[in-house]
Structures are given as structure tokens and as C-alpha cells.
Structure 1
């Protein structure tokens, strides 16, 4: 069983991944995917950390959600690692890619992300679908009927409320039950966009409430708990809103299992110290927590021979 958590290469995503790589926490069957979106120093530094600790990582070579791929002269190039066996080169399947007939080198693992049925049909006709080591596809019946090879399910489990609703309307709920149903499906692994969701915005967007998202397992069910500030009338005072949210986290965390006592404890400590680290740090620690929770679950339930 594989898990491919999918990240866009924002600063806080990369910081979280680099920290997890340096702690050498991930088993070999949890393989993060980075789709670069910005030409920043954190990208090659994160890749270097995974390579240095011999941990597998996927980097998408043809980013499709920003203008990163259009930047000809990269200030922070990562190509020096592309031949390293720990690095898996990924591509997003597009009509342009099908026309280019990108054939991977057989000595390296590769990954193909297919988001559209029509692109998959064209790629199959071109004979491209059996080449990649890993193929990520949406969980659609017509796609399952089209393919005759093992695949990874790619699905966005995150919920994004629309105004005037907030995360306070659903403080706790199911995030994913992929792991509970794996024996009933044809998939050999799963991929999702984590707590951040698949939606990408180049500049982000302001939120009326500060929300801290923490995943945790209840049996084989992955759930998510949301700690939401009481104040959500405007876009002001993020510091005060953070303390409202983290106070709820600090009350909830000691009642949870030991597997949840991860980077979340660092967040809870901010309630004790009354220190506001900035929302970027909150996101980094929340991502680290999710990866630590998944690593503990996989090591117990899906041990992998490294």
C-alpha cells in the first residue's frame, strides 16, 4: 500500500516537508509529491533533504497550476538531483504531453498524474500508460474500466466552506476512509491534497476566521478536527483569532491518543506561552502533524520493506 500526499510547492509546504525529511519519519511507502509553483530556494533545499536521507520524493516536471513552468531561467534550479534514484520524476498528463510522447528512462521510477478521462484515452491510444511506475487517476468507474494496470487513486478530501459558512459548521468529521476500504478496491495506493485541498490560488485569499486543521485516526478512519476562532466577523486581528483557536486545540489534544501528540504539541504550546508565530508556521506544523500521523499509521498497518 502506497500513500502519495500531493503538495503545491508553497513556502510552508516545503518547510514542512524538509523538516519531516530531516527527522527521517516517513516509511518508504509514503512518498510526497511536490508540484512546484514558485521559483524559491526552499524547493532545491527540500529536495536535497530527501535525497540526503535516501527518502523517495516525487517532483512534477511540468507544473500546471502556476506560471512556474513558463519561467525559462530558474534562480533555484533542482535539475542537479533529477538523476538521483531517490527522486521520482512526475508529469501531469496533458494533450501537450501526449503529443510530445515523453518516454521515461527505464532505470528510474516515474509517475504520471491523470486528471481527465479524455487525456487518459488519448494517452492509452498512444501507448503511454504502461510506461510510468506509478499512475494517479481519479476514482471514476469509467477510468477503472479503461485501465488494465495497477493505479493510485487521486482524490481531494478537503472541504472548503463558502461564505457565510465557516469551518465551525463542521468542527469534526470524516476526512478519508480510503484505508478502511482498500481491500474492496482495485487501487494499490492513494493520493490526496492533504488538509490544504486541491484548490490553488496564486496569491491566497483572506479568511474571516483562523482555523487550525488536525487529522487523526479513529480505528481505520481518518478524521479531521477543526479548531475555529470565535471571531469571524471581519478579516482583522489574526493574532487574537489564533489564540481563540489554539485554546480549543490545547484543551482537546491531551485527551487524544499518543499518535496525535506530534507537531500538534508545538501548536498547543503557543497557547501556554501566548506567542503568535504567524499563520505560515501554523500551516507548516499542521502539515507536519498530518504526515506524522500518516507515518505512524502506515508503519503499524502497512509495513514496507525499505
Structure 2
């Protein structure tokens, strides 16, 4: 049903590990594109998903990060640690530089790991669909919406189809407005003929190796508005101080103060998730846990929000 797309950085993988029981319980299927050379964190995340009885998709030919030239180490991890495990599927990223023959070679190489096709710029859908005709009914196709419009997706209509939308409008932290629309896909995916939907959580599809010093600190939190046909919106609680890269703890305190004030107003529509409870705890303690930890809490809140909505 819900397919959150993660890039395999430290706090993304920690989010998957910590949320594995909920992900499994709700039949949510995380997609992971490994971007770090070391795969220890990925292995722990996959093991957590398997132990919880869940499912996940691992991109074996990443477009970003340390494995973009050679994904053989990812394939080796799946073959050595998760062979015969129905919980872990091999995701094949279909990019603009691939031919149908390239796709089919990778598909056959990972045949024992329930290959899933992730369409992200591929330009020959008709030819590929013809190659896959005999196995289409048992195949899962994931479409990154910006790269796979309606006519493209039509070639794979006899398969299980998942649509992933990037609802996060990435900007400099200081430039965010307080609130903006995120996505309605959680409420409309079935109208579009999809079996499930996904997003890039509160991170977005854009990839960067690492953040520089934070001139402003922002807390990004999603909510579903029942007064607007269950559309999803996102708050950006941004620090007031944004002219120097110093004092991230003080900037976090400013952003957190805005979040708590909105929560206490009774008009936020934010669910009191476990992540929100932890934000309240951080406020009470006056503690700054680090920017990565804040991002993890926002991702957990997003997953918890969708879990409640889809229950």
C-alpha cells in the first residue's frame, strides 16, 4: 500500500530499523537506495524488517552515492545474507541510460530475489513491456511520477503498479513558508489505478552527499486535513536566526518553540504521534539531539501519520 522511498543514509536506515514493527504491521514496504559504501547499516535495517515480518525493496543499481558505478556489493549482500528470503526484493532502477536489454540482464541476474522495476527516467517502456509480457501479471512496477506519466504507465497496466510522488518542495531552510501542500496521493492512488503509493518523506528526491553548516534550522512535519478532502500538508517550523552558521542548538530551540506553540493552539491538525511526544520531551528538557535526529523524528511522524490514516 505505502512505499516510502529512502536513500540509505544513517538516519534513514535508523528510521527503518526503529519503525520496522509498524511498517510490517501496516504492510508498508520501504524502498531503499543504498548510497553509502559501507553496508552494515543497510544489513541491520533489512534484518529488522525481516525479523518484524515485513517486506522491503533494495535498489541494486543505485543512481546516487558510492555504489552508482558498481552495485555488485549490494547484490552480494542480498545473495549472502538474504537468499531465499521473501521479505527482501531486488529493486532495479530504470534510468535514461539503460536499454531494454540492460534491464532484462539485471532482471535475470536477480531472478531469485523477486525483482521489482523502479521506473526513473527510462525511455523505452513499450519495448520493455513486450519483453516482460509473460511475467507481467506477477510483476511489481514502481513509477517515480516525474519520470513516468500516464501514457508511460499504461504499458504496464497488467502488473501491480505503485506510484511515487515527491511532495517535498526542497528549498533553503530560511526560505520555507510556514505551510504548503504536500500530496493527495494517499487519498487518490486507487482512483489513478494504482495498487499503492509512495513518497520521499520529508527529504525529497533531490540527493546531496551531506549538509553544510545550517544557517537556519527547520522542523518539517506533515498532517492530513479532514476539512480539505484529506489532503496532506506540511509545516515548516523555521528558526528566526539565519544569518550565521553558528549555534544550531539555539536555532533548533527557536524552531521547536514554534512547533510547540502550534501544537498547543489546538488548530494544528498534527497527530500526537510518538515522534511528536518526543519533540515535546526535547522541549521540556531543552535538549538538542542533532540535526540528523530531528530529521529522523520528522520521518517517523510522517510514517505514523499515514499509518493512522490508512488503518
Structure whose residues are more often helix by fraction: 2
2:136 maps to 130
1:36 maps to 34
Report the count of equivalent residues.
293
2:202 maps to 195
1:253 maps to 2:263: yes
d(CA) in 2 for partners of 1:112 and 1:73?
19
Conservation of the 8 A alpha-carbon contact between 1:260 and 1:293: no
1:182 maps to 189
2:103 maps to 98
Q: Secondary structure at the match of 2:182?
A: strand
Q: Which has the higher contact order (CA 8 A, sep 6+)?
A: 1
How far residue 187 of structure 1 moved from its aligned partner, in angstroms, is 1.6
Counterparts of residues 198-209 of structure 1 (less than 5 Å): 198-209=205-216
How far residue 195 of structure 1 moved from its aligned partner, in angstroms, is 0.7
2:66 maps to 67
Residues 183 and 64 (structure 1), Cα distance of their counterparts in 2 relative to 1, 3 Å cut? closer
1:120 maps to 2:118: no
Conservation of the 8 A alpha-carbon contact between 1:111 and 1:132: no
Counterparts of residues 5-24 of structure 1 (less than 5 Å): 5-21=4-20, 23-24=21-22
d(CA) in 2 for partners of 1:102 and 1:142?
23
Q: Secondary structure at the match of 1:184?
A: coil
How far residue 268 of structure 1 moved from its aligned partner, in angstroms, is 2.4
2:89 maps to 88
d(CA) in 2 for partners of 1:117 and 1:109?
20
Q: Give the TM-score of the pair, scaled to structure 2.
A: 0.84
Structure 2: any 5+ residue segments left out of the alignment? none
The worse-fitting range, judged by mean Cα deviation, of 254-263 and 199-208 is: 254-263
1:232 maps to 2:225: no
Conservation of the 8 A alpha-carbon contact between 1:8 and 1:36: yes
1:142 maps to 2:151: yes
d(CA) in 2 for partners of 1:297 and 1:286?
17
Residues 183 and 61 (structure 1), Cα distance of their counterparts in 2 relative to 1, 3 Å cut? closer
Structure 1: any 5+ residue segments left out of the alignment? 300-306
Counterparts of residues 146-161 of structure 1 (less than 5 Å): 146-149=155-158, 150-161=160-171
The Cα RMSD (Å) is 2.7
1:45 maps to 44
Q: Secondary structure at the match of 1:196?
A: coil
Match of 1:111 among 91, 110, 116: 116
The worse-fitting range, judged by mean Cα deviation, of 196-205 and 278-287 is: 196-205
d(CA) in 2 for partners of 1:53 and 1:228?
36
The worse-fitting range, judged by mean Cα deviation, of 242-251 and 116-125 is: 116-125
1:54 maps to 53
Q: Give the TM-score of the pair, scaled to structure 1.
A: 0.85
